[in-house]
Amino acid sequence: MVSYVSHLECAESGKKYEKGKIHTVSDLGKPILVKYDLERLSSEISRDSIENSKNPGMWRYSPLLPVEQEENRVSLGETITPLVNFPRLASCLGSNGETAFVKDESRLPTGSFKARGLSLAVSMAKELGIRHLAIPTNGNAGSALAAYASRAGIKTTVLCPDNTPEINVRETQIQGADTFLVNGLIDECGEIIANGKELLDWFAVSTLKEPYRIEGKKTMGLELAEQMGWNLPDVIFYPTGGGTGIIGMWKGFLEMKELGWIDCKLPRMVAVQSTGCAPIVKAWNEGKNFADYWENAETISSGIRVPSALGDFLILDSIKSSNGFAISVTDEETIEMQKELGEKDGLLLCPEGAATLAAYKNSLKSGLVSLNDRVVLFNTATGLKYPLPEVEASIKKEDVDYAVFKSK
């Protein structure tokens, strides 16, 4: 037994739910969160024992995760993702390059941070004896679920909007999931899954409709603290879709604070969205606690093309509690920053990650953050999964004009 879970709780009403049972959403239809006996945990597990863990990835935080039996951990060799600086681009922004870093989540299995949440969700599904999982996805969640579920021997059905990046759909299929394209948006895929539950008895792993993906995403925050010497940056820019990452990290920060593992000021949480789909930014600007459905969502940053988030109030709460903000950037700004960072510092971000860089640049300009702020931008997936600009220049081997190389 390695877990310190005490019970689960409705994120809105606080109503308690028993551990060791299968849960979806609360009676109110809101997310259910995992609660730990932090008092017992702090008396039995020290920060040092975490640091001394032989596990080189998210499972080093097992005491703060819900999986009870070690044999139920479904792992594909998760790593600690690096914090990479970008001095050349930073200097163009007027910075000395020592305050801003990219946390590069592309190094995880299946090339995205979705691995964290789905490793956890699949591990819990295994522990709870679930035999068939289903997910609506814009791409990365589907491939991560496929990979982890196949590894656990659990059947998986994946529904993707038919404009999901092709590579995501194909990688999902080849990792063993029954994969379908749907002529609709992600929430419509979710509806199809909800409506099929009675007939197929599958379990939906939709964002925040089960309690465990968020616990996996939480490890981004735990890992960040440990790799900064149990410290945290001043500001976190996070590409926000369903919000599991921002909610999970914030939950992790509060837990670590209560455990006494950190005593620094908590970071300002910045939710970054695209102007083509910015429900959280709109709600934030209007001072609302919940977000309206975003009609005609459209952006190249498919991971944050989420018109409505079940955890909207939790996202908005973490922004507010942390004195952060929400900000949207255009796809043009995103593409521009992706290109610039590749050219200047050799880092290929996914569009969602590049959106955080564009947001950082704009926030510096408008004074929302300063050059002295220590900033972490989340690159949530590998840029290799997305369409990239075509190479137009070519030469003929029979007749090489060396002048073309000079002009490049």
Question: Residue 242, interface with ligand PLP (CB under 6 A)?
Answer: yes
Q: Which is nearer to ligand PLP, 140 or 219 (CB)?
A: 140
Q: Which of 62, 81, 334, 380 binds ligand PLP (CB under 6 A)?
A: 380
**Per rule CB under 6 A, is residue 324 in the interface with ligand PLP?**
no
**Cα 314 from Cα 316, distance rounded (Å):** 5
> Which span sits near ligand PLP by CB under 6 A: 11-19, 57-65, 171-179, 239-247?
239-247
Residue 168, burial from CB neighbour count under 10 angstroms (0-12, 13-18, 19+): buried
Residue 98, exposed/middle/buried by CB under 10 A (0-12, 13-18, 19+)?
exposed
> Are the C-beta atoms of residues 118 and 145 closer than 8 Å to each other?
yes
Cβ 381 to ligand PLP shortest distance, Å: 4
Work out which of 119, 244, 328, 338 binds ligand PLP, going by CB under 6 A.
Answer: 244
Cβ 1 to ligand PLP shortest distance, Å:
29
Q: How far is the CB of 143 from ligand PLP (least distance, A)?
A: 9
Q: Does 240 bind ligand PLP (CB under 6 A)?
A: yes
Can you tell me which of 177, 232, 350, 369 binds ligand PLP, judged by CB under 6 A? Answer: 350
Residue 58 vs 141, nearer CB to ligand PLP = 141
The three-state secondary structure class of 404 is helix
274 binds ligand PLP, rule: CB under 6 A:
no
Residue nearest to ligand PLP (CB): 303
**Residue 81 makes contact with ligand PLP by CB under 6 A:** no
Q: Is 279 in the site for ligand PLP (CB under 6 A)?
A: no
Measured from the CB atom, the residue of 220 and 259 that comes closer to ligand PLP is 220
Is 381 a residue that touches ligand PLP (CB under 6 A)?
Answer: yes
245 binds ligand PLP (CB under 6 A): yes
Q: At 73, phi and psi to the nearest 5? A: -65, 125
Is 216 near ligand PLP (CB under 6 A)?
no
Question: Among 151, 206, 168, which Cα is nearest to 350's?
Answer: 168
Question: Residues 353-379, buried b or exposed e (16+ Cβ, 10 A)?
Answer: bbbbbbbbbbbbeeebbeeebebbbbb
Residue 235, sorted as left (phi over 0), alpha (psi -120 to 50) or beta, turns out to be: beta
112 binds ligand PLP (CB under 6 A): yes
In the chain, what is the greatest distance between 2 CA atoms, to the nearest angstrom? 75
| 12: CB partners within 8 A, 6+ apart | 26, 28, 30, 313
For residue 320, give the H/E element and its range: helix 312-321
Tokens 């049972």 locate to 21
Closest CB to ligand PLP among 224 and 350? 350
- Nearest CA to 134 out of 71, 188, 201 is that of 201
Residue of the chain from 352, 356, 383, 386 that contacts ligand PLP (CB under 6 A): 352
CB of residue 121 vs ligand PLP: minimum separation in angstroms? 13
Residues making contact with ligand PLP (CB under 6 A): 112, 114, 140-141, 207, 217, 239-245, 303-304, 350, 352, 380-381
